[in-house]
Amino acid sequence: MECAATARDWLCDPQAQVSAHYVLASDGTLWQLVDEDARAWHAGAGAWGPVDDVNSRSIGIEIANTGHTPFAACQMDRLERLVAEIMTRHGIPPERVIGHSDMAPGRKTDPGPRFDWLRLARQGLSIWPEPHGNGDFFENARRFGYKAAVPRETLLHSFRLRFRPGATGPIDATDHALMACLAQRWPVAAS
């Protein structure tokens, strides 16, 4: 949408049949649209680990950004505070903080390759793997939480959006090692 306020207004329009708990503008302005204890319709169809209905088990934050430009520092600062507050209120571990592209590979690409997941991980608000371990990339992806029935290339692309932005080409040893780390350290059955 052309701006965060337009997105906010669309998410508040019943005809849109979509909503989110929060909308975060590039200048750090934050609007809460839905109570955290209520269901919002931000994720659409998607799954993560044992959860087939992400909308009913998540708190959705829409971040105003095209996905191809850097996220503003004030926006990231406000996001860090919000995520920390939500995690504290609901006892959410960092491995349960995911993007739309994680739970709906191919259909969703946000927050996109310019989102600074590593920054969140350094604050304990997300996770970041170290490349070690081995095993089948796709089996490890399921163990970690990727559940969508999508082509292998689509799953690889979604994984790289988050953990190897800018990486292209066929699956390689780094992809395998990163996914092995994710599956070993943060399997969805453990959280």
> Is residue 177 within 8 Å of residue 140, measured between CB atoms?
no
Phi, psi of 62, deg, nearest 5: -95, 125
Looking at the DSSP bridge assignments, the partners of residue 24 are: 30, 63
Among all residues, which ones are annotated catalytic?
62
Contact 86, 36 (CB under 8 A): yes
| DSSP assignments along 95-114, one per residue | GG---HHHHSBTTB-TT-TT
Provide the greatest CA pair distance for the chain.
48
d(C-alpha 153, C-alpha 170), whole Å: 8
3-state DSSP: the chain helix, strand, coil percent, rounded to 5?
45, 10, 50
| Sheet of strand 22-24: strand arrangement | 30-32, 22-24, 61-63
> How many whole angstroms separate alpha carbon 26 and alpha carbon 4?
8
Decide: 191 and 93 in contact? Cβ < 8 Å. Answer: yes
